[in-house]
Chains A and B, each alone.
Chain A
Amino acid sequence: DIVMTQSPDSLAVSLGERATINCKSSQSVLYSSNNKNYLTWYQQRPGQPPKLLIYWASTRESGVPDRFNGSGSGTDFTLTISSLQAEDVAVYYCQQYYSTPPYSFGQGTRLEIK
């Protein structure tokens, strides 16, 4: 099974500053036949279900603000929030959906305001 490891576990950033969350997979999630990375990012606010932010590692879901950006390939990925807003306080998860299940999630990164 593919293990997903996020860093850091928690992060405090000032409003308007950049937040960076990393996600590493135990094996590559890049499918060579279509050159797609099977990696997604979610935001989960307290008491809410996860919300899809990014899929295929860098494709922003419709309606997601453009301050959210996903990057990386193979085993190393990054979610960047370019200018932190108060409503971005949440836990962020990466998830791989490469090949056959089980799909797996990172342990989550808690993002707070400094």
Chain B
Amino acid sequence: QVQLQESGPGLVKPSQTLSLTCTVSGGSISSGDYYWSWIRQPPGKGLEWIGYIYYSGSTYYNPSLKSRLTISVDTSKNQFSLKLSSVTAADTAVYYCARGGDESSGYYSHWGQGTLVTVSS
């Protein structure tokens, strides 16, 4: 069974870069046609799709975040990562990594537990 686990700092200062890593176990990022994605949820609010990466490195970002966002993959470590620059309090959220469905489908069948990132000085 595929499992995902987010890791990274829980506190980031305004204007700095938020960096998170998702470690995948129980399956290889390089196998299968899956989108590996980031999704976030501000405290008490709904879900926002951030972007995805394919094992080949191709990406798609939410246009609202595109200018600040980089998603990368390290197949040797079975990890993918998120970097969000110039953060503000509005970026405070629980960040989830997730795996898309079969045949590159955009529904999410596997999720990490999520990690809360707070942007504050």
Contacts and interface: CB of A to CB of B under 8 A. Distances in A.
Interface of A: 38, 40, 42, 48-52, 55-56, 61, 93, 95, 97, 100-108
B112 interface: yes
A9 to B, nearest CB: 11
B113 interface: yes
B74 interface: no
A102 B63 contact: yes
Contacts of B60: 100-101
Given A52-B109, A95-B47, 4 more contacts: A40-B108, A97-B107, A107-B46, A108-B47
B47 A105 contact: yes
B105 A97 contact: yes
B96 interface: yes
B109 A38 contact: no
A49 B49 contact: no
B101 interface: yes
Chain A interface helix/strand/loop/mixed:
loop
Interface residues of B, number: 23
Contacts of B63: 102
Contacts of B51: 101
Contacts of A103: 49, 106
A55 to B, nearest CB: 4
A60 to B, nearest CB: 12
A55 B111 contact: no
Contact of A61 (B52, B105, B109): B109
B46 A55 contact: no
Interface string B47-72: 11101100000001111100000000
A22 to B, nearest CB: 16
Residue of B46, B98, B113 contacting most chain A CB atoms (<10 Å) = B46
A82 B33 CA distance: 34
Contacts of A38: 105-106
Q: What 6 A-B pairs are tightest by C-beta distance, nearest first? A: A97-B106, A49-B111, A40-B107, A55-B107, A105-B47, A102-B62
Contact of A93 (B46, B101, B111, B112): B46
Contacts of B49: 95, 101-105
Contacts of A102: 49, 62-64
